[in-house]
Amino acid sequence: MVTTLEIAERVGELVRIPSVNPLQAGPISGDDGETELAHFLADRTEALGATVELDEALPGRPNVYARFDGQRDQTVVVDVHLDTVSVEHMTDDPFDGRIENDRVYGRGSVDTKATFAVVMSVLEELLADNGPGPTVWLVGTISEEIGGLIGAKAFRRWARNTGLGIDQLIIAEPTMCAAVHGHKGGLGLEITVNGVAAHSSKPHLGSNAISAAGRIIDALDLEHDRLQDLGGTTAVGPGTLSVTEIAGGVARNIIPDCCTLYAGRRTAPGEDPDALFAALKDIVVSAAAPVEVDVALAYGAGSAAFYEDPAGALIAELSRLAGSAPETATYGSNALAYPDVGLEKSLFGPGSIDQAHKAVEWVDIAELGRAADVYRQLLAP
């Protein structure tokens, strides 16, 4: 049996391979993205006996699909995103992967290289005997942290094109080994307010794009308040709406002719992203009037919320094995790219989301052992 300490060492090994999303790359991380990690994992899983395919979700940025044949007619997919967030703000060495204070440190240690190390180790144990019970696909996907879930969408297409039937799909996230059965989806509004420039001493000759943007923000804030008053219909809670970016103006003595905004709408279970976009666009256009405004849907599409029955078989089994109750999450995940993939789905993984994206990131070694115990039983013959 692979020990928990050995699993921790393998997490550290993965941390030492930088895989910062290129959209958040910087001088410390370099700009190679997930490429080196993807090839490393392809080689490592192939050495364990997997059938491996590299699938370029973006040029030079491949997903990894490793198939481990099982003994029964069941297919389990574990999706682990390979990219991490930026390291430029970190006060700790982002890539040392050291073991200290019963923790593994470094970027990606908890979010979410830990799961890849755990599942590889468990499969190594099972392969030393007769192999896993179900056929297991260990999938590494790019571009989860930012960029529109491109890797997960590529795997979805690949699974559909190859006719891969998936019974259970586990999306790796740091859930403290709780089975997470729901979280919000989302859509983004990219708003451009088109005013008319004029001398600031004669504002009536222009059309102030920033003033119109202010009216838009007020209208969107009122819509957020309305959603909270309605409340949610599930444990995921109601949708939310936030303006998170604004830019405009060229000089202090010029009435601004342009202002751009970004607003994010988190979708609750049962909400239709297309209908929401149309309604929000109407709110924005009405608030800006008589100033003209362009409204575009970020990434070209929104995402419905992820929600599974907490009494479903996979959720119940993971909860039983981990000794925890089903939960919902406040963050998003690759689950949003898989509305029609897998008969059952759950988020699951070691460590806490509270440690993710921080200036110092770590995962408890005890959590690695706990997750390994769950996977040993879940994937057993």
Q: Are 172 and 110 in contact (CB under 8 A)?
A: no
Give, in degrees to the nearest 5, the angle at Cα 368 between 10 and 183.
115
pLDDT digits over 328-376, tens only? 999 999 999 999 999 999 999 999 999 999 999 999 999 999 999 999 9
DSSP three-state, residue 67: strand
Judge residue 207's burial from the number of C-beta atoms within 10 Å of its C-beta, 0-12 exposed, 13-18 middle, 19 or more buried: buried
Mean pLDDT throughout 132-137?
98
| pLDDT confidence of residue 246 | 98
Kindly report, as residue ranges, where domains of CATH 3.40.630.10 are found in the chain: 4-182+305-378
Q: Are 94 and 107 in contact (CB under 8 A)?
A: yes
Listed residue (176, 49, 30, 160) closest to 112, CA to CA: 176
At 271 the pLDDT is 97
Per residue in 13-32, pLDDT (tens digit) is 999 999 999 999 999 999 89
> What SS3 class is residue 248?
strand
CATH of domain 185-300: 3.30.70.360
Which of helix, strand or coil describes residue 291? coil
Number of residues in the chain? 381
Residue 187 binned pLDDT confidence (cut-offs 50, 70, 90): very high
The pLDDT score that the predictor gives to residue 222 is 98
Two tokens, residue 149? 């879930």
Which residue spans of the chain are classified as CATH 3.30.70.360?
Answer: 185-300
Mean pLDDT of 260-265: 98
Given a contact cutoff of 8 angstroms between Cβ atoms, the answer to whether 174 and 113 are in contact is: no
Q: Is 4-182+305-378 in CATH node 3.60.20.30?
A: no
Note the pLDDT of residue 33.
96
What does the alpha-carbon distance between residue 163 and residue 152 come to, in Å, rounded to a whole number?
16
Q: Model confidence at 185, in pLDDT bands (50, 70, 90)?
A: very high
Mean pLDDT of 136-142: 98
Q: Provide the whole-model pTM.
A: 0.93
User: Which of the four pLDDT bands, split at 50, 70 and 90, describes residue 248?
Assistant: very high
For residue 121, what are the CA distances in angstroms to 4, 372, 375? 9, 8, 10
For residue 78, what pLDDT is reported? 98
112/42 Cα distance (integer angstroms): 17
In this prediction, residue 36 carries a pLDDT of 98
pLDDT of the residue at 128: 94
Beta carbons of 45 and 52 less than 8 angstroms apart: yes
In 3D, which of 142, 121, 130, 151 has the Cα closest to residue 44? 121
- pLDDT at residue 285, as a whole number: 98
For the segment 197-244, what is each residue's pLDDT rounded down to a tens digit?
999 999 999 999 999 999 999 999 999 999 999 999 999 999 999 999
Quick one: average pLDDT of 277-303?
97
First to last CA, the chain: 16
| pLDDT above 90 as % of the chain | 99
Separation of alpha carbons 351 and 42, rounded Å: 25
Report the pLDDT averaged over residues 175-196: 98
What is the enclosing helix (H) or strand (E) of 220? Answer: helix 209-230
Are 330 and 144 in contact by the 8 Å Cβ rule? The answer is no
For position 194, what pLDDT does the model report? 98
The order of strands in the sheet holding 99-100 is 99-100, 103-105, 362-364
| Percent residues over pLDDT 70 in the chain | 100
Q: Can you give the pLDDT at residue 172?
A: 98
Reported as a pLDDT band with limits 50, 70 and 90, residue 62 is: very high
pLDDT band for position 281 (cuts 50, 70, 90) = very high
Contact at 8 Å (CB) between 329 and 229?
no
Is the peptide bond preceding residue 290 cis, with omega within 30 degrees of 0? yes
Q: Report the alpha-carbon distance of residue 174 to residue 25 in Å, rounded.
A: 23
Which two tokens mark 337? 């790219």
User: Which residue from 155, 113, 27 is spatially nearest to 349, judged by alpha carbons?
Assistant: 113
Query: Can you give the pLDDT at residue 188?
Result: 96
